[in-house]
Structure 1
Amino acid sequence: MSLSLLWIPVTLVAAAAQTARNATQRKLTETIGTVGATQVRFLYGFPFALFALGMLRLVSGEMIPGVSSAFFAYVLAGAVSQILATGLMLSAMRQRSFAVVTAYTKTEPVQVALFGLLLLGDRVTPPIALAIVIATAGVLIMSVKPGTDLKNAGLRPVIFGMASGACFALAAIGFRGAILSLEQGSFVMRATTTLAWGLGLQTAILVLWLGIFDRKALISSFRAWRPSLGAGFFGALASQFWFIGFALTTAANVRTLALVEVLMAQLVSHRFMSHATTKRELVGMGLIIVGVGLLLWAQH
């Protein structure tokens, strides 16, 4: 496979791993709360990231890249944005179905394309822009139910889900910026180095926050180490492949193809959480498939 197209299978693996991580985290919110469940993906993912970096260093013989102030600024911005995005997403999931909230967060590709152009100079061709619009329209059709549904459910989960998407968009741009700022190493080494730094910063920030403001949640996250290991592993696995994708192509390409996660989430909801699929959601999923297909066609 051409290296220029390697980001496609990489992104699909990342989307599958993230669906598994989201489902695991959602269950943890019931026992250790939103902030505690947000923290476990970083705390328990960090050792896996360090292990991956160490093994890559050993197997490839590459040196771990040195970091600059620009790298640190980008990775810190990505780390903080992702913490906010995850917390907002889990808060919304406590009030709405897993698939619907995942769909709300996936309004991010349009924002990723805009932020990528403004902050990194990542240009989007007309066919790719059309693909982003079509796929995002599919997400919105899946998400926005008739007015009575929104009235009964309240606007809070909608707002939290949309805000989560915006923060995920900023996180994607921050991490891609960090990867591009590294001057040495293969794309895999630069991606893995950025992942280790990102998860390390996120772990430090959340452990400090919980230690000061919510020690009960911090202690609970340590006690729930068995299920948390699963969330940490799938979180680190997903992030590893997201970052490799960011090293290979624009964040807009990666996050648009990542909309297949909505389809995976719908399958999880239908199979394990007894959420029925409506005709409207089928139309939305069809548009996502069309948009993703156009995106892949535009790569040739």
Structure 2
Amino acid sequence: MFTVATLWIPFTVIAALGQVARNAMQRQLTGPLGTWGATNIRFLFGFPFSIVFFVVLLALTGDPLPWPTAAFWPWLMLGALCQIVATGLMLLAMNDSSFVVTTAYLKTEAIQTAIFGFVFLGDHLTSLKVIAILIATIGVIITALRPGGTKGFADLRPTVLGLVAAATFALSAIGFRGAIITISGVSFVTAASYTLVFGLFVQTLVLTVYLLARAPGVLKAILGLWKPSMLAGFTGAFASQFWFLAFALTAAANVRTLALVEVLFAQAVAYYSFKQPLSARELAGIALIVIGVALLVAV
């Protein structure tokens, strides 16, 4: 059914499902914890789970413990730090706009990832794949449009926050893929899992030190909400595990374009959890997303 070369497809779909669940949990925790407290949850509570994943997968693969080259660390730091900034911006945007519209802005990440991947990693994309990315991105933009008035898109603040978050998420994807492909002598599973552990370690360290210095009360509040935080951390680590497995197998742009199916999952979450209805315009945008994603997978 799937070869190793095409495993990135189910890996990406599973990761997208996990990410929607994690985003919804983080959004609900933004109120009591603030933006950076909710951001730290995915790292602080996700890190222990990433270690468990790595140990189990290392035993299953029988690989030796990797030893990264010097090139690993700059890519890792790019991925880790950009993801911190991107997550914070995402939560800020979700506070100012609807869950679905914010997710739509974030999905402009696909075209930005394609550009960054070509510039920084030399990732090759065929003409048909570029067309697929463009179709799916147009679908996302249509989903984000709002009818009536001269504003068209949502107010400027969530628009800017969402688009900048998308750019930093794109750079994060490039950084993590760059780190993964520097690891040699082990399977793609071990390389991806190893990178995830170090990525979450850096993110946990940076953001926890920041909160200790600037808002120690937030850390206390996080510990007080450890049950929902633990669940959000698990879903975050689970989603990241599959993102990294996909990044190990194909260009980041392919992964992030297929990840546009997240918009469909977000629609379901928004409808059932936040009671945000689905419009005909959003259906049209979703149709284009599906066409673009189907073309990407087909070619």
Structure 2: distance between partners of 1:171 and 1:98: 22
Deviations 1:103-149 (A, max 9, x none): 11000111101100110000110000000000000000011213638
Kindly indicate whether the alpha-carbon contact (under 8 Å) linking 1:221 and 1:228 is maintained by their aligned counterparts in 2.
yes
Structure 1: distance between partners of 2:221 and 2:145: 35
Kindly indicate whether the alpha-carbon contact (under 8 Å) linking 1:115 and 1:173 is maintained by their aligned counterparts in 2.
yes
Structure 2: distance between partners of 1:184 and 1:144: 47
Deviations 1:170-204 (A, max 9, x none): 00000000000112210000000000000000000
Partner of 1:161: 162
> Normalising by the residue count of structure 1, what TM-score does the alignment of the two structures yield?
0.97
Kindly indicate whether the alpha-carbon contact (under 8 Å) linking 2:78 and 2:172 is maintained by their aligned counterparts in 1.
yes
Kindly indicate whether the alpha-carbon contact (under 8 Å) linking 1:184 and 1:190 is maintained by their aligned counterparts in 2.
no
The total of aligned residue pairs comes to: 298
Partner of 2:260: 259
Kindly indicate whether the alpha-carbon contact (under 8 Å) linking 2:153 and 2:159 is maintained by their aligned counterparts in 1.
no
Partner of 2:244: 243
Partner of 2:202: 201
Structure 2 unaligned residues grouped into runs of 5+? none
1:164 deviation in Å? 0.6
- Residue 69 of structure 1 aligns to a residue whose secondary structure is coil
Tell me: CA distance 1:267–1:205, structure 2 relative to 1, closer, same or farther (3 Å): same
Kindly indicate whether the alpha-carbon contact (under 8 Å) linking 1:26 and 1:90 is maintained by their aligned counterparts in 2.
yes
Kindly indicate whether the alpha-carbon contact (under 8 Å) linking 1:111 and 1:166 is maintained by their aligned counterparts in 2.
yes
1:159 deviation in Å? 0.4
Structure 2: distance between partners of 1:71 and 1:142: 37
Kindly indicate whether the alpha-carbon contact (under 8 Å) linking 2:82 and 2:168 is maintained by their aligned counterparts in 1.
yes
Structure 1's consecutive aligned runs of 4 or more residues displaced over 3 angstroms after TM superposition are 146-153
Tell me: CA distance 1:33–1:123, structure 2 relative to 1, closer, same or farther (3 Å): same
- What does residue range 123-272 of structure 1 map to in structure 2 within 5 Å? 123-146=124-147, 148=149, 150=151, 154-272=155-273
Structure 2: distance between partners of 1:189 and 1:215: 35
Deviations 1:189-248 (A, max 9, x none): 000000000000000000000011111212211211100011100100110000000001
- What does residue range 1-300 of structure 1 map to in structure 2 within 5 Å? 1-146=2-147, 148=149, 150=151, 154-298=155-299
Tell me: CA distance 1:130–1:151, structure 2 relative to 1, closer, same or farther (3 Å): closer
> Normalising by the residue count of structure 2, what TM-score does the alignment of the two structures yield?
0.97
Kindly indicate whether the alpha-carbon contact (under 8 Å) linking 2:145 and 2:152 is maintained by their aligned counterparts in 1.
no
Deviations 1:150-178 (A, max 9, x none): 48953111100001100110000000000
Structure 1: distance between partners of 2:150 and 2:167: 23
